[in-house]
């Protein structure tokens, strides 16, 4: 985690913060273009519903969000409610910045959450609930139907019908042979060595029976560098050597722009660009089954947390239960393009309900999503795995050696922090 405190950010954070006054709530949210209409609606509808009862809400989009949170944490200027990115929750909880919120939420809401969303918010050996997201994200294969049909490639339409690893390889070989195809598969190597490399590539490992850390012992050795993971990354490396994978230097638009790639492995945030670029030729294909675990989709996103400094808990409780109502969760999904995090909200969504364009995304979120490790060492875990993936897909390196190095890095960090108690006790 970054600990640098920028003076300008600290001043802004203090100026915008709002400590607990009964009836007055401030929520800091990410300053994203797709989310802005939803947050405007959330503030207006909450105030219309509860203003007469004396509770008002101020939703504040914050530029340079992570830096602002860090600065406000150090200065004591956090608001009543904040947003966090799900994978970062455990390190923030371990630092004591946020408090459990299970007692603030209607039990029916928690029971209605998709399994991976519930897992994303559950922290520590005592399994306390610290964080709740109104949506889930996921990974899927996007396909160009015209090119797939031209190559004679079967197009799966259900999770049960997903390609095996062997079928996936066969499809790539057939697509590579088509005139005009440079590289058949875009896996967003242009995103660089960041969180995408864990979010996007750990599902392949998990499908093949692997993982990036043992989630009971919290030891990486023997898991991240397992035979299963070596086999998975070796397959991807072989595909790269065969010219199947769009290189980082080729940019972002080979699939939806130039159409010299026929498949793209990426999340639902690319929906607008893909729909605009391919129109009726766009097809959604379930993740491939790399192994016996079957198709696995990534999980996670931004959600609500309550700083430890917040004391106005009765009003915060009203807000959290309103923001996580089925109607608001469905509205978040249809505004932003993400999957509703509650089972009861999925039928309310035009996009993800039965017959909607994104119905298969909702099914994947319910059956096949795996949360990234909820552990305070996650920033180190993800960086170590991501570094290995980039190295493996960037050259002819020894896969086992890369994963051995990742295991050593992770286990050393956990040892240096005495196991991150109460983990490892």
Cα gap 103→346, rounded to integer Å: 25
The candidate with the shortest Cα–Cα distance to 344, out of 48, 112, 53, 44, is 112
Is residue 74 in a domain? yes
The pLDDT, as a whole number, for residue 20 is 46
Q: Is 41 a member of any domain?
A: yes
Token pair recorded at residue 418:
């005495």
Give the CA angle between residues 11, 15, 16 to the nearest 5°.
Answer: 120
Q: Distances from the Cα of 364 to the Cαs of 139, 141, 395, in angstroms?
A: 9, 12, 32
Domain that holds residue 312: 7-136+300-367
The residues near 308 (Cβ < 8 Å, ≥ 6 apart) are 96, 97, 98, 99
Structure confidence at residue 17 (pLDDT): 42
* Among the listed residues 197, 238, 202, the one whose alpha carbon sits nearest the alpha carbon of residue 220: 202
The confidence score (pLDDT) of residue 21 equals 58
- Return phi, psi of residue 358, to 5°: -105, 20
Domain presence at residue 265? no
- Tell me, yes or no, whether 395 lies in a domain: no
378-392 and 227-241 helices, crossing angle to 10° = 40
**Nearest-angstrom CA–CA distance, 392 and 399:** 6
For residue 372, the SS3 value is coil
Q: What is the pLDDT of residue 12?
A: 38
Q: Where residue 325 sits, what CATH number does that domain have?
A: 3.40.190.10
Instruction: Name which of 132, 154, 247 is nearest 192 in CA terms.
Output: 247
pLDDT at position 355 is 93
Q: Name, in order, each residue with C-beta under 8 angstroms of 331's C-beta and a sequence gap of 6 or more.
A: 38, 41
The tens digit of pLDDT for each residue in 201-260 reads 999 999 999 999 999 999 999 999 999 999 999 999 999 999 999 999 999 999 999 999
**Residue 267: its H or E element:** strand 263-267
List strands edge to edge, sheet with 98-99: 82-85, 302-307, 98-99
- Residue with tokens 């306390």, as numbered in its chain: 128
User: What letter does residue 161 receive in the DSSP assignment?
Assistant: G
Q: Which residue blocks in 51-144 are alpha helix, DSSP H?
A: 65-75, 89-94, 107-112, 115-121
The position carrying tokens 């697509």 is 175
State the Cα angle at 378 between 32 and 139, rounded to 5°.
55
Please give the chain's pLDDT, 425 residues, in tens: 333 322 233 333 343 444 445 789 999 999 999 999 999 999 999 999 999 999 999 999 999 999 999 999 999 999 999 999 999 999 999 999 999 999 999 999 999 999 999 999 999 999 999 999 999 999 999 999 999 999 999 999 999 999 999 999 999 999 999 999 999 999 999 999 999 999 999 999 999 999 999 999 999 999 999 999 999 999 999 999 999 999 999 999 999 999 999 999 999 999 999 999 999 999 999 999 999 999 999 999 999 999 999 999 999 999 999 999 999 999 999 899 999 999 999 999 989 999 999 999 999 999 999 999 999 999 999 999 999 999 999 989 999 999 999 999 999 999 999 999 999 87
What is the model's pLDDT at position 425?
A: 74
In a domain, 288, yes or no: no
Number of domains in the chain: 1
Specify if 27 maps to a domain.
Answer: yes
- Asked if residue 91 belongs to a domain, the reply is yes
> Could you tell me if residue 100 is inside a domain?
yes
All residues at 6 or more sequence positions from 102 whose CB lies less than 8 Å from its CB, including other chains = 110, 128, 129
């Amino acid at each position: 985690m970054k600990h640098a405190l920028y003076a300008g950010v600290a001043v802004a954070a203090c100026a915008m913060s709002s400590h607990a006054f009964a009836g007055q709530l401030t929520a800091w949210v990410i300053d994203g273009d797709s989310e802005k209409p939803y947050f405007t609606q959330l503030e207006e509808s909450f105030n219309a519903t509860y203003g007469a009862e004396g509770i008002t809400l101020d939703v504040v989009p914050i530029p340079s969000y992570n830096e602002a949170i860090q600065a406000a944490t150090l200065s004591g200027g956090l608001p009543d409610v904040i947003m966090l990115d799900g994978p970062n929750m455990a390190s923030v909880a371990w630092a004591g910045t946020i408090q459990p919120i299970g007692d603030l939420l209607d039990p029916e809401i928690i029971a209605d959450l998709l399994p991976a969303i519930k897992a994303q918010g559950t922290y520590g050996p005592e399994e306390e609930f610290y964080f709740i997201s109104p949506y889930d994200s996921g990974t899927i294969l996007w396909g160009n139907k015209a090119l797939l049909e031209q190559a004679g490639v079967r197009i799966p339409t259900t999770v049960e019908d997903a390609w095996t690893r062997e079928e996936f390889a066969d499809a790539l070989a057939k697509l590579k042979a088509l005139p005009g195809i440079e590289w058949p598969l875009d896996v967003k190597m242009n995103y660089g060595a960041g969180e995408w490399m864990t979010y996007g590539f750990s599902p392949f490992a998990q499908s093949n029976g692997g993982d990036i850390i043992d989630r009971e012992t919290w030891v990486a050795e023997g898991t991240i560098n397992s035979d299963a993971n070596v086999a998975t990354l070796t397959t991807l490396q072989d595909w790269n050597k065969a010219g199947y994978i769009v290189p980082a230097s080729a940019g972002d638009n080979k699939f939806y722009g130039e159409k010299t790639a026929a498949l793209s492995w990426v999340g639902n945030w690319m929906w607008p660009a893909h729909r605009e670029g391919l129109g009726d030729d766009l097809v959604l294909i379930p993740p491939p089954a790399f192994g016996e675990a079957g198709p696995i989709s990534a999980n996670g996103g931004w959600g609500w947390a309550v700083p430890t400094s917040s004391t106005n808990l009765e009003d915060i409780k009203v807000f959290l239960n309103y923001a996580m109502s089925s109607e608001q969760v469905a509205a978040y999904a249809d505004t932003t393009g993400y999957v509703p995090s509650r089972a009861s909200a999925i039928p309310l969504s035009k996009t993800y309900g039965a017959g909607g364009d994104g119905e298969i995304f909702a099914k994947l979120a319910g059956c096949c999503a795996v949360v990234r490790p909820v552990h305070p060492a996650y920033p180190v875990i993800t960086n170590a795995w991501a570094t290995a993936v980039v190295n493996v897909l960037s050259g002819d390196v020894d896969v086992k050696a890369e994963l051995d190095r990742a295991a050593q890095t992770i286990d050393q960090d956990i040892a240096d922090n005495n196991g991150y108690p109460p983990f490892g006790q």
